[in-house]
Amino acid sequence: MVGITLEELPSWNCCGAIYNTGSDDIAGQVGPVRVLAKASQLGEKLVTLCAACYNVLKRAGARLNTPGNELERQRVLEFVDEKMERDVRVVHYLEVLKEDIGWEGVRSRVTKPLNGLKVASYYGCLMVRPKEVLSFDDPENPMVMDGLIAALGGEPVRFEFKAECCGGYLVVNRREVAEECSMRVVDNARNWGAELIVTTCPLCQYNLEIAQKRRRAEQYLPVLYFTQLLGLALGLSEEELGFEDNKLSPVGFLKGKGLL
Amino acid sequence: MKRVGVFICHCGINIAGVVKVPELRERVKSLPGVVSCIDYVYCCSDPGQRLIRETIEKEKLEGVVVACCSPSLHEATFRKATEEAGLNRYLCEIANIREQCSWVTADRDAATSKAEGIIATVVEKVRMDEPLERVKVPMKKRCLVVGAGIAGIQAALDVANAGYEVVLVEKEPSIGGHMAQLSETFPTLDCSQCILTPRTVEAGRHPKIKLFTYSEVVDVAGFVGNFRVKIRQKPRYVDIEKCTGCGICLEKCPVRVEASFDRNLTRRRAIYRLFPQAVPNKVVIDSENCRQLQGKKCGVCAKVCPADAIRYDDQERFIEEEVGAIVLATGYELFDQKRLGYYGGGAVPDVIDGLAFERILSASGPFAGEVRRPSDGKVPQRVVFVQCAGSRDSTQGVPYCSKICCMYTAKHALLYKHRVHNGEAIVCYIDVRTPGKGFEEFYRRATDEGVQYLRGKVSKIFRRGDKVVVWAADTLAGKKIEIEADMVVLATAVVPNPAGVALARKLKVALDANGFQTEAHPKLRPVETLAAGFFLAGCGQGPKDIPETVAQASAAAAKVLSMFGTTELYHEPVVAEVDAEICVGCGNCERTCAYEAVKVDPVRGKAVVQSAMCEGCGACAVSCPSGAMNLKNWTKKALARMVDA
Amino acid sequence: MNRTPEEVVREIEALSGQRVADCYQCGCCSAGCPIGTAMEPPPSKAIRLLQLGRVDEVLQSEGIWLCASCLVCGTRCPRGVDYARIAEACRLLILRTKRSVVDPDRVVPVDLDDVPQQAFIASFRKFSV
């Protein structure tokens, strides 16, 4: 659709979903490092669609290359039993869109512009923190997705909870805490006039949707994955966009806006 | 062989507590050339100096080494004593065995050996030293003051009132600096304008003060006593001699732009004056926003001006002035709110900084002194004051304490309570610091009058409807707190004015890691710099309040005056020297010299050192490929001998 | 395994790569924590307890299990202390005694099918042995 071919990593494994920070942690590094090693045998750039994968892989890679960690690097790679052929740059798909295709390139492929739809781009934690490792955007007011929204013909909404936490995995054991976190994000986006929220992380999307479903189902802001919004503007069909998997259907809203 | 005497100072236990002095004394006695070695508890004391004088005479010494503290402290003391005993002062040298030896180790044997090594090195230098005479330099008894805030005004007045001419340069169109923006001042709550304007008026009319407003210092050449200053006067587009300050043009100009003097809370015209009591009370045209100057049709101000003072063809002017001393009073700015993303990044109109709140409180401000908030002009019923917005923050702000915020925040909260009687004032703080006369009492007054203090740094500020929500903490109660406020005032950090930083860099006046000008000694030379002839006043040197600024400005003026009070200026004779026989005139030295003190004579093809400008850094000597350039008493030969010793 | 509180604090510092003495107790971490008032003790207080050597009060607290590792505290900390790492180090000390806090067999079965696998994996990796 955007003129780029991605290659699936053969026999990939889970990154672990969360980065372990313990200074003596080896086991937690094995998963992401194996992914990096497999990728290194294939190319220089590893693209992720998910903010969590992005965060974990990027941090594991940075840790591996930190001066003083040579012994740990050796031990982890022994465990992984894969050769690290080269340094792999982990990039989020948003970076591919911005750097390799460019917002002009994206704009030129849009067939169904968003007609000034007010979109709040929600980055959550994993795209921007820790800022030392994930330094591609401002940790308090990231802008990369805002650029995408503008390219798709939408109006990016400046709001103050772009990078606040949705509650993350606390939804498993402390649902009410996670819901409060998520509702604050939604309320703040609404306060600044957003009609829709996009996320870069499946868990953020789930949390923002499920919290609204439980607490304010009658009047919710639809939450799309950024690829769903991209696909919409590029003219994909309702089926291809997978809206049936959303916890809160955006279909009625989008139809009302004339976008479906 | 030159007869050298060595004096070892105990410095109480500072040296003798670590270095084994008796053992050291015996070891030093056997060094070549040393005819006498004496130790004493405090060499810098009167009896200590007498001992040195008497020993010089008795032992007929031809060189003196005092092993003691850093030469920055007592070199002058011991050289004077040496001179009094009839020996050339430059034949006395310091061996630093305190800062560079006893203070940095607890190992007594190692310290004793190192002390011996240091002394042996310096003894070798003294044996090579030649008697030198100080260089006399002439002096222009005029003073340049850069910046006309309260610091610059005070320094200028003090020097001018002593009868010397002052050149006062201000980059803004009128003088007064940030103090002119303030409403009332802590801890006495007197009106800032009321106490400032007598000074601005006096400075503006003083026969000995030559005032350049809307001007900046672009270059300084020369050296202490003999600076040549180049000043750029920006085009004002108004004939300052003809303008009467009547203000008719201010009403007729069709352009409106944000007024930076009011922290962008009001709009001014393209032709403007900073504030009603401005000195000089003359208007200025902001060329970027003037329709006429931007090539569009207008010319209204010229048409309405009854004094025919408008000059659309005005050009920038360069003026040269000769002065003997320079006072830097370049002042401060506030840390940019835009850099505090977690506090709204400057995008929330009702989150403002301290100077903006001063303008709101000011009778000449956007709401004529009524406390209203910028977004909708409503009277805020709950205001949160956030301290340490950028200060004491080594990761996202500045590492230091900005010093004045605790007090001005207490003042803000109090003045708000005075104007909005039922209003709620909440101060979020980390620590309240009140080390000043009447400060603690003032802080108590704020709490007594109902200002709520919450101990915890604010983490986030965001909007909810027309409210501003503050995420704070009460660390004393161990709780996170959410406050819904109508307005937030950030006590943003005090940072050096960027124009002052750029100027200091250009003039090679040392700056610390935060961009503040560095004094020559933190305790004993607080208004001087290591660059001779440059003095410091006000917030360019570090954050300070008005009384401290004024005191420092007067101190800087006193230093200038004591320099002007001497008949002649001397320059240290440790300067570079060319051996014209060897010099090939390659010009390396000229290119290396940071002080423009070395030039290659185009006729003779030899380097020439202008001693008065040479700071004795030695860079030219290092760069000289033929070995012709040497620093007096620090010749290559002497250095080699010192290393060997 | 009878270690003094000071030794435990040092182990937490080694595991987290953070120094508790760096904290000057401004409370910014507590103010910005999205878990809010449920976080007990709040991060700054937990660090204070560690500064005082009162490790048990931290290790037995609920707060270390409520941290979602969002890293806001560390990002805004004016002293560069990352509390999320300290909390993780505390959890590791407990988990390494083979005590799980989130038991996969006992997770509340609300919308279980719905919750993304990502959340389960993250949760179990943070909270279980």
Over 60: is that where the pLDDT of C32 sits?
yes
Select the highest-mean-pLDDT range: A6-15, B525-534, C105-114. B525-534
State residue B485's pLDDT score. 98
Of residues B263, B484, B468, B493, the one with CA closest to residue B360: B263
Q: How much is the average pLDDT of B467-471? A: 98
Over 80: is that where the pLDDT of C124 sits?
no
Nearest CA in chain B to A193: B465
ipTM of the modeled complex: 0.93
Please state, in angstroms and rounded to a whole number, the distance separating the CA atoms of residues A52 and C44: 27
Over 90: is that where the pLDDT of A134 sits?
no
Q: Quick check: A17 and C34 CB within 8 A?
A: no
H or E stretch at B63: strand B63-68
State residue B242's pLDDT score. 96
Please state, in angstroms and rounded to a whole number, the distance separating the CA atoms of residues A166 and A153: 27
H or E stretch at B466: none
Q: Which among C77, C125, C129 is the top mutation candidate for probing chain A, defined by the most A β-carbons within 10 Å of its own β-carbon?
A: C125
Whether residue A165 lies within 8 A of chain C, CB to CB, comes out as yes
State residue B96's pLDDT score. 97
- The separation between the first and the last C-alpha atoms of chain C, rounded to the nearest angstrom, is 20
Over 80: is that where the pLDDT of C126 sits?
no
The percentage of residues in chain B with a pLDDT greater than 70, rounded to a whole number, is 100
What is the DSSP pairing of strand B4-9 with strand B34-40?
parallel
Please state, in angstroms and rounded to a whole number, the distance separating the CA atoms of residues B176 and B152: 9
- Give chain B positions within 8 Å (CB) of C79: 394-395
Q: How much is the average pLDDT of A63-67? A: 92
Over 60: is that where the pLDDT of B44 sits?
yes
Q: Quick check: A23 and C14 CB within 8 A?
A: yes
Average pLDDT of every residue of chain C: 88
Q: Give the distance from residue A118's alpha carbon to the nearest chain B alpha carbon, in angstroms.
A: 17
State residue A99's pLDDT score. 92
Does residue B502 contact residue B531 with C-beta atoms inside 8 Å?
no
For helices A27-40 and A51-64, the axis angle rounded to 10 degrees is 90
Does residue B278 contact residue B174 with C-beta atoms inside 8 Å?
yes
Q: Quick check: C122 and A52 CB within 8 A?
A: yes
Which ranges in B91-218 belong to alpha helices (H)? 108-128, 150-161, 192-205
Does residue B294 contact residue B255 with C-beta atoms inside 8 Å?
no
Q: How much is the average pLDDT of B413-428? A: 97
Please state, in angstroms and rounded to a whole number, the distance separating the CA atoms of residues C119 and B586: 73
Of residues C44, C40, C53, the one with CA closest to residue C13: C53
Over 90: is that where the pLDDT of B568 sits?
no
Counting as contact any 3 or more CB pairs under 8 A, the partners of C are A, B
Q: Give the distance from residue C95's alpha carbon to the nearest chain A alpha carbon, in angstroms.
A: 12
User: How far is Cα of residue A31 from the mean position of the Cα atoms in its chain?
Assistant: 19
Over 60: is that where the pLDDT of C1 sits?
no
Does residue A48 contact residue A92 with C-beta atoms inside 8 Å?
yes
Which three-class secondary structure string do you get for B441-459? HHHHHHHHCCCEEEECCCC
Please state, in angstroms and rounded to a whole number, the distance separating the CA atoms of residues A129 and A120: 19
Does residue B245 contact residue B261 with C-beta atoms inside 8 Å?
no
Whether residue A129 lies within 8 A of chain C, CB to CB, comes out as yes
- Give chain A positions within 8 Å (CB) of B465: 191
Q: Which among A140, A158, A164, A186 is the top mutation candidate for probing chain B, defined by the most B β-carbons within 10 Å of its own β-carbon?
A: A140
Over 90: is that where the pLDDT of B612 sits?
no
Please state, in angstroms and rounded to a whole number, the distance separating the CA atoms of residues B632 and B577: 6
State residue A137's pLDDT score. 83
State residue A12's pLDDT score. 86
State residue A9's pLDDT score. 86
H or E stretch at B221: strand B215-223
The first and second tokens of residue A48, run together, are 């992720």
State residue B367's pLDDT score. 96
Please state, in angstroms and rounded to a whole number, the distance separating the CA atoms of residues B42 and B226: 39
Q: Quick check: C118 and A203 CB within 8 A?
A: yes
For helices B108-128 and B21-29, the axis angle rounded to 10 degrees is 30
Q: Give the distance from residue A210's alpha carbon to the nearest chain C alpha carbon, in angstroms.
A: 9
Over 90: is that where the pLDDT of A3 sits?
no
User: How far is Cα of residue C12 from the mean position of the Cα atoms in its chain?
Assistant: 11
State residue B118's pLDDT score. 96
Q: Give the distance from residue A141's alpha carbon to the nearest chain B alpha carbon, in angstroms.
A: 7
Q: Quick check: B388 and C26 CB within 8 A?
A: yes
The percentage of residues in chain A with a pLDDT greater than 90, rounded to a whole number, is 80
Q: Give the distance from residue C55's alpha carbon to the nearest chain B alpha carbon, in angstroms.
A: 17
Q: Which of residues 420-479 of B touch A (CB under 8 A)?
A: 460-465
Instruction: Count Cβ atoms below 10 Å from residue A230 Cβ, excluding itself.
Output: 25
State residue B631's pLDDT score. 92
Does residue C43 contact residue C16 with C-beta atoms inside 8 Å?
no
When CB atoms are compared, the residue of B394, B396, B456 closest to C31 is B456
State residue B293's pLDDT score. 96
Whether residue A135 lies within 8 A of chain B, CB to CB, comes out as no
Q: Quick check: B430 and C27 CB within 8 A?
A: yes
At residue C108 the predicted structure's pLDDT band, cuts being 50, 70 and 90, is low
For residue range A73-100, list pLDDT tens digits in order.
999 999 888 899 999 999 999 999 999 9
Nearest CA in chain B to A139: B341
The percentage of residues in chain C with a pLDDT greater than 70, rounded to a whole number, is 88
For residue range B187-226, list pLDDT tens digits in order.
999 999 999 999 999 999 999 999 999 999 999 998 889 9
At residue B611 the predicted structure's pLDDT band, cuts being 50, 70 and 90, is confident
- Going by the DSSP 8-state scheme, the letter that residue C39 receives in this structure is S
State residue B396's pLDDT score. 93
User: B9 by DSSP, 3-state: which?
Assistant: strand
The first and second tokens of residue A75, run together, are 């031990």
The percentage of residues in chain A with a pLDDT greater than 70, rounded to a whole number, is 100
At residue C58 the predicted structure's pLDDT band, cuts being 50, 70 and 90, is very high
State residue A17's pLDDT score. 86
Average pLDDT of every residue of chain B: 95
Over 80: is that where the pLDDT of C104 sits?
no
Q: Which among B455, B459, B462, B469 is the top mutation candidate for probing chain C, defined by the most C β-carbons within 10 Å of its own β-carbon?
A: B459
User: B267 by DSSP, 3-state: which?
Assistant: strand
State residue B42's pLDDT score. 96
Whether residue A83 lies within 8 A of chain C, CB to CB, comes out as no
State residue B35's pLDDT score. 96
- Give chain A positions within 8 Å (CB) of B347: 158
Q: Quick check: C122 and A167 CB within 8 A?
A: no
State residue B37's pLDDT score. 96
State residue B80's pLDDT score. 95
Q: How much is the average pLDDT of B433-452? A: 97
Give Cβ neighbours of residue C118 (< 8 Å, ≥ 6 apart).
A17, A50, A52, A169, A202, A203
Query: Which residues in B have their CB inside 8 Å of a CB on C?
Result: 342, 388, 392-397, 430, 455-460, 471-475, 478-482
Q: Quick check: B457 and C27 CB within 8 A?
A: yes
User: C53 by DSSP, 3-state: which?
Assistant: coil
What is the DSSP pairing of strand B452-455 with strand B424-429?
parallel
Q: How much is the average pLDDT of B20-48? A: 95
Beta pairing partners, B536? B328
Of residues B380, B379, B412, B365, the one with CA closest to residue B266: B365
Q: Quick check: C66 and A174 CB within 8 A?
A: yes
For residue range A184-193, list pLDDT tens digits in order.
999 999 999 9
- Give chain C positions within 8 Å (CB) of A247: 114
The first and second tokens of residue B210, run together, are 């030559």
Does residue B303 contact residue B228 with C-beta atoms inside 8 Å?
no
Q: Quick check: C119 and A171 CB within 8 A?
A: yes
Q: How much is the average pLDDT of B398-425? A: 97
Whether residue A21 lies within 8 A of chain C, CB to CB, comes out as yes
At residue A161 the predicted structure's pLDDT band, cuts being 50, 70 and 90, is very high
- Give chain A positions within 8 Å (CB) of B461: 160
State residue B484's pLDDT score. 98
Q: Which of residues 373-392 of B touch A (CB under 8 A)?
A: none
Which string of b and e fits B83-103 if b means at least 16 CB within 10 Å? Answer: eebebbbbbbbbbbbbeebbe
User: How far is Cα of residue B391 from the mean position of the Cα atoms in its chain?
Assistant: 19
When CB atoms are compared, the residue of A141, A191, A192 closest to B341 is A141
Please state, in angstroms and rounded to a whole number, the distance separating the CA atoms of residues B64 and B94: 9
At residue C125 the predicted structure's pLDDT band, cuts being 50, 70 and 90, is confident
The first and second tokens of residue A218, run together, are 């009658």
Nearest CA in chain C to A168: C68
Query: Which residues in C have their CB inside 8 Å of a CB on A?
Result: 14-17, 34-36, 38, 66, 68-72, 74-75, 82, 84-85, 88-89, 92, 102, 107-108, 110-111, 114-116, 118-123, 125-127
In chain A the beta strands, taken as DSSP E runs, fall at 45-48, 89-92, 118-122, 155-156, 196-199, 223-225
State residue A88's pLDDT score. 93
User: C114 by DSSP, 3-state: which?
Assistant: coil
At residue B1 the predicted structure's pLDDT band, cuts being 50, 70 and 90, is confident
Please state, in angstroms and rounded to a whole number, the distance separating the CA atoms of residues B628 and A163: 65
Q: How much is the average pLDDT of B387-397? A: 96
Beta pairing partners, B629? B578
User: B566 by DSSP, 3-state: which?
Assistant: coil
